[in-house]
Structures are given as structure tokens and as C-alpha cells.
Amino acid sequence: MQPSYDYKKFAILYVDDEEKSLKHFTRAFSEQFRIFTAPNAVEGLKLLDAHKDDIGLLMTDQRMPGEKGVWLLERARQLRPRIIRILATAYSDMDAAVAAVNTGAIYKYISKPWDVPQLEQTLKRSLEFFLVQRERDQLLHEKMSVLHNMMIADRIVSLGLLAAGLSHHIRNALVAVKTFLDLAPAKMEEEKMDVTGLRNPDFWKEYYQNVQLQIERINSLLKDLWTASERASVQFPDRVVLRDTVATTIAAMKDGFAAKKIEVDNQIPDSLPPLNVDGPKIARLFELLFKDEIASLPAGSRLTLTAELLDGGQKPEIQLQISDNGPGLPQESLRVLFDPFVVRSDTPAEYGIHLMACYFIVYHHGGKIEARSQEGQGTTFTLRLPLHPDRAAPAEGDHDFLKRILVNESLWDKLISPE
């Protein structure tokens, strides 16, 4: 069974200084293909730049006033390397065609005057090759995306298991330290001395309070991480309206936002269908995200929340975006944003643990959380949460991906032979 191709999905750009040739080309092939034309190389380059995402094939005459065809083909290769490039030449221009082939500037050349049926087949085969290359590139991109997400998930889950395993021992150790600190003031008072040998009650009182605060902080962080890393014992028992849950969290944290004069604009529509979730964990998800924003954003910043329903048939989901207008992040920081040991700002409240806990909560709900950022232009968190997490399809794995590659006969045929 021959694969079918949509030859009008991507256009053909034909460049020739002869007006009759342009009209003839359009008349002969406009029913089969989308056609752009240009009267010279410079205009052709402008068209290519303006429609670079729509053009799959460039065919140009060699001999034209001003810049020649090979000049345009070379510029096209630099602008869009995947575009199929064809040089139309007369016999006297054969040296230019050979040079273009040798430098890799063209896919093939054809002789003028061209034969319409033969050229039609050449254009079809060329566009097929372009479409197959795009399919291959998309498959590889999907594969890299799957591997990237698998690596992140594996590392995050490993860290979560480590945190859960260590939490018991660390908290036991902290209990011992806390007990010592609780007894220390009374003991020092009893013996009328302190560690330095100097009487300084105010210093020890402040020191005691600070250490107690840090102990509670560590306990809270460990509890968050441990709780987030555990799956719900009853799978997603609650139904929540996203806008209401977010609004409740914003109201509960109004003092934190007010202290830094951060404006929050909740644009989540109330018409979205409810989510089946673990209610307390989802509420905690937004609390942790907002805590991270409060810690990271400068005073006077703005936070905007939007959401929409993505109805993908068997897996409908809500996509939520939380965007700020803060200073943004460099790309090297963005890649490790959910790593608990990476500092997101100069004065972080926590070292990535809040975001790591957020990753766990979204992950266990069958969703995804990603971030994009640009220095000076703010950061946007994108969350995709299935309406029914228990029905969410798992991410495509190696087996499914390889199966798609191996059964794609047209891809292999076109990659093995350009004809």
C-alpha cells in the first residue's frame, strides 16, 4: 500500500527572471502544489524569509540578472537547512550545477527546458523526502523529550525516596538536639554558667529561639517532601474546581503577597470542569508554588494565572500557566529548576525543595510541570493536570517509540534513497 502525502501542506518557491516561465510553472502545477514565485534571487530570499515555515521546496533558475541561483540556494541552506533545493540549469550552466552539487547546496538539478510530467514527479518525490525528514525529526524530538522527562522523573523520584528514607533518622536526630536545647537553659541557670563562661542571657535566648526555628523549618521541609513523594492511599478521592482552590490559597497567603506588594491576577475561568485529585495535596501544590514566587520575586511584581481545557479525547486535561514579570532565569538555571540543591534567587527561602515537592504532586497526578524563562522577561510555570488521573495514559516509552520507527516503511525508504 503506497503512503499518501499532502503535497499542499508545504509550498514550493520557484524563482526565475523570465515572467513567462513563472506563469507557465504556476499554470502547470498550481492544482497539485502550493506555489510561490519570485522574479530574482533577492526577492526569492525575501519570500523565503517571510514564509520559511511554510516552504518545503525551493527551485531556482541559475542565470538571472544580479545574484545567481546558486547564491540563493546557499542562503536558503543557511536559513533553513531542511528545505529541498533544486537548481534549474541550461546545458551551458552545467559547471555551476556540478559545483552546487559538490558543495551540498542542492538536492538535485534539472535541465531547461523542463518536461512537465517528469518535473511533476521530481517535485512530488522531493516534497515526500522533505515530509519524511520532518517526520523523522519530530520522532527524534519526541524521543529526546521522553528521555529528558524520564531522566528528570527518575532523579526526582530517587531523591524523594532518599528523603523519605533519611527523614526518619534526621528527625530523630533533631529530636535529640531539640531535647538538649530545651534542657540547656535550665541547666545553665542551675549551674550559674554558660558555655562561654560569661553571663549573657539575651544572647542565649536569641540563639535558642533561632535554633528552634531552624529545627522546625527542617522538620517542615522534610514533611513536605515526604508527603509529596507518597501516592494517595485512596486514589484521587476529591473533586475540586481549580479557580476556587487557587483563590482560597491566594486568600490564605495574602499577607505574604502584601508584604512584597505582589499583585496576583487570577484569570482562571470558573467554567472549567472539576478535577479528580487528592485535594489537600493539590492545595499544598499551589501554596508551595506561591511561596517560591514570593521568595524569588522582587517587590512590586505581578503574578498572572490563566487556564484552559485541553480536550484530547480519552485524556482531557487542564493546562494552567502561572506567569510572573520578575527578572527571569538563565537557561542553565532553568534546566535544573526542580533540583532541591539549586538556588533560584539570591535570597531563597528554600533551596529548590518547594519546587521538588510540586514536581512530586503533579507527577503522582499523572500530569506534567514545566518552566520556561528568559532573563529580564519573567518565568512561566505550565502545569497540565488530567481531569481523571487514574485514566491518564503513561508517557510513551522506548518500546512504543521504536515500534513507530520500525514500522514506518516510507521513512526508511526515503532515508535510504533520495529518489
Tens digit of each residue's pLDDT (9 = 90 or more) over 290-302:
988 898 889 999 9
pLDDT digits (tens, 9 = 90+) for 56-103: 999 998 888 888 888 898 888 888 888 899 888 765 566 666 666 655
Q: What is the mean pLDDT of residues 179-185?
A: 59
pLDDT at 180 over 60: no
For 344-383, write each residue's pLDDT tens digit.
444 444 445 677 778 878 887 888 888 888 888 899 999 9
Bond into 113 cis (ω within 30): yes
| HEC-encoded secondary structure of 47-99 | HHHHCCCCEEEEEEECCCCCCCHHHHHHHHHHHCCCCEEEEEECHHHHHHHHH
Average pLDDT on 216-243 reads 67
According to DSSP, residue 396 is labeled P
The x, y and z cell numbers of residue 308, run together, are 484552559
Q: What angle do CA 293, 394, 268 make, to 5 degrees?
A: 35
Which residue in the block uniquely carries the three cell numbers 508554588?
Answer: 289
Reduce the secondary structure of 256-279 to three states and give it as a string.
Answer: HHHHCCCEEEECCCCCCCCEEECH
Enter the CATH code of domain 232-410.
Answer: 3.30.565.10
Length of the chain: 419
pLDDT at residue 267, as a whole number = 96
pLDDT for 341: 45
The CA-to-CA distance between both ends of the chain, in Å, stands at 18
* pLDDT-based confidence at residue 108 (cuts at 50, 70, 90): confident
User: Residue 156 is placed in which grid cell?
Assistant: 526526582
- Domain spans in the chain, listed from the N-terminal domain onward: 11-114, 144-230, 232-410
What are the φ/ψ torsions at residue 241 (nearest 5 degrees)? -90, 120
Q: Answer whether residue 41 shows pLDDT above 50.
A: yes
Q: Quote the pLDDT of residue 409.
A: 46
Q: Rounded distance, CA 331 to CA 373, Å?
A: 8
CB-facing half-sphere around the CA of 70: CA atoms within 13 A:
15
Hey, what CATH topology would domain 11-114 get?
Rossmann fold (3.40.50)
Is pTM beyond 0.85? Reply is no
Strands (E), 261-367: 263-266, 275-277, 302-310, 317-324
Q: Are 73 and 58 in contact (CB under 8 A)?
A: yes
Q: Write out the three cell numbers for 137.
A: 525529526
Q: Given this chain, do its domains 11-114 and 232-410 carry the same CATH topology?
A: no
Three-state DSSP string of 177-242: HHHHHHHHHHHHHHHCCCCCCCCCHHHHHHHHHHHHHHHHHHHHHHHHHHHHHCCCCCCCCEEECH
